[in-house]
A and B are shown apart, each in its own frame.
Chain A
């Protein structure tokens, strides 16, 4: 599938603030659950080493959109993608039938709305992705686990209980454990689906801070229905409504001078 816009990018409002360089990009991405069209020709650029936030009212398709990136929908029968998701720098359409979803998932990582640590030790949770990738070297795994736990700001809290069950940690710690698990394999793109919605404000703040740190190394795409959070942490924001992309732009601009009436209504709390 060709890109919708060729040459220098201009956003839907005709302004020239399109990000560069890109880590990924969706091109007229449509998605069906059975016969039900849930995403309608959504084209969003994902800037490298930036945080892109997806906002929109409940049910508008944010999770569905995010889960297209790691082909999570392939697990369920009757789902169908149309259009393309291009991953850079190799410019591969990861929705292509030829592409093995496992290969795609190896390059990406995902953090879910509800912390979902495996019923294994803290250590094994973080090492999971490495084991799946066939890493056998104990020393290498030890190192990666520590590094990932440090990146997720969890190391100090769990370094003495690496063999405790991951499920025995507090909610906020569990979510950071899931972030560590995601980071251990050096993903090119980190997908987060409302990662703080099940957490208290303090745990939320610590994860937001963490994401600011992380974006130096990894591209982040985050779904949130908390607009303050999107405004606080993201560089780019995409606003979706009823399966369509309404507006995309730099977060500051989108929140101060939205180009579309719908965006303005949503961010000022008039609906959603």
Chain B
């Protein structure tokens, strides 16, 4: 009977093949285990780095806060850790960071939003093909270059308008920070606007709206949470920006909210002091970590907020 014969044969082949297959399966499992382990390890490296950084920041800051009370840290208006009469008030550095970041946002938010609207709603595909890589290039310029751009180009240009503007000031670097975070703000906002479904735009056109009205009254509101997330991530970048302010804002901790004055930011202080030769374990050395901790908490908070908002806008549609 041919059917039985074939069946028997099939079973036989299957059996011998099955034994081989079991061996192959084991080998494959072992291989996959190794690969998976490798991948996990790679992923753990970044997690471990983050945790280590936080731990070091916390540990060294603890030593700092044993000597300086939290109250002094947050209320003293002077930051002079290296003077004979040391003061440890973070406010001047915080003010520097806030002012340069705010100036940066005042540039990046309007320019970034308008550019994103243009790219998402108005630009022809050809135009988009030219502009997007150019923007990415803007993001690839080393920050030192931006720093000297602020010091040697932007500030002198501003001095033409305001001759009293000192050579070191927060306005110039603030504007340059704005330019630096533009690519991020634009590309994230544009993503958010492009994610708005076409039926919403059609609904608006069908009511007799113009192209501009549709973009402004429907697309932008629909993409709000994504756009705001772009701003928030921009803030977190601006707050952490170092080279530009270290080079062009002056390095004097100076409690002022006036962008026309020179001042130091948290990041600028950290590089400045870290480049000097402070004895390990001294209070000046530890002040770097306390300042760094404040910075880390700020950027973490903004990052988390930004990602939460980004996720929210994804869930809308």
Contact = CB atoms under 8 A, between A and B. Distances in A.
B205 A105 contact: yes
Interface string A91-111: 000000000001001101110
B221 A116 contact: no
A112 B202 contact: yes
A118 B208 contact: no
Contact of A105 (B197, B207, B221, B222): B207
A108 to B, nearest CB: 8
B208 A129 contact: yes
A105 B203 contact: no
Contacts of B316: 119, 167
A2 interface: no
B217 interface: yes
A118 B202 contact: no
A187 to B, nearest CB: 10
B77 interface: no
A129 B207 contact: yes
Given A102-B210, A112-B199, A132-B213, A118 B218 contact: yes
Contacts of B209: 102, 128, 132
B252 interface: no
Nearest to A105: B208
A75 B208 CA distance: 13
Interface in B175-215: 197, 199-210, 213
Nearest to B199: A116
A118 B206 contact: no
A132 B203 contact: no
A153 to B, nearest CB: 20
B201 to A, nearest CB: 8
Contacts of A185: 207-208
Contacts of B218: 118-119
Contacts of A132: 207-210, 213, 217
Given A116-B199, A116-B200, A133 B208 contact: yes
Contacts of A182: 206-207
A112 B316 CA distance: 19
Given A105-B207, A106-B208, A128-B207, A118 B200 contact: yes
Interface string B240-271: 00000000000000000000000000000000
A177 to B, nearest CB: 11
A112 B197 CA distance: 13
B203 A118 contact: yes
B208 A110 contact: no
Contacts of B202: 72, 75, 112, 116
A110 B204 CA distance: 10
A78 to B, nearest CB: 13
A120 interface: yes
Contacts of B205: 72, 75, 105
A173 interface: no
A215 interface: no
A54 to B, nearest CB: 17
Interface string A109-137: 11010101011100000001101110000
B207 A119 contact: no
Contacts of B199: 112, 114, 116
A120 B201 CA distance: 14
A144 interface: no
Nearest to A103: B208
A50 interface: no
Contacts of B222: 118-119
A263 to B, nearest CB: 30
Nearest to A118: B218
Given A128-B217, A132-B213, A178 B208 contact: no
B113 to A, nearest CB: 17
A72 B206 contact: yes
B212 to A, nearest CB: 11
A109 B202 CA distance: 11
A114 B197 CA distance: 11
A102 B221 contact: no
B264 to A, nearest CB: 43
A59 B22 CA distance: 51
B221 A70 contact: no
A102 to B, nearest CB: 6
Contacts of A119: 200, 218, 221-222, 224, 316
Interface string A64-88: 0000001010010000000000000
A62 interface: no
A63 to B, nearest CB: 11
Contacts of A23: none
21 contacts: A70-B206, A72-B202, A72-B206, A102-B208, A102-B210, A109-B206, A110-B203, A112-B199, A118-B200, A118-B203, A118-B218, A118-B221, A119-B222, A119-B224, A120-B221, A128-B204, A132-B208, A132-B210, A132-B213, A182-B207, A185-B207
Closest 5 CB pairs of A and B: A106-B208, A110-B206, A129-B207, A105-B208, A116-B199
Interface of A: 70, 72, 75, 102, 105-106, 108-110, 112, 114, 116, 118-120, 128-129, 131-133, 167, 178, 181-182, 185
Given A128-B209, A132-B208, 7 more contacts: A72-B206, A105-B206, A114-B199, A116-B199, A119-B218, A182-B206, A185-B208
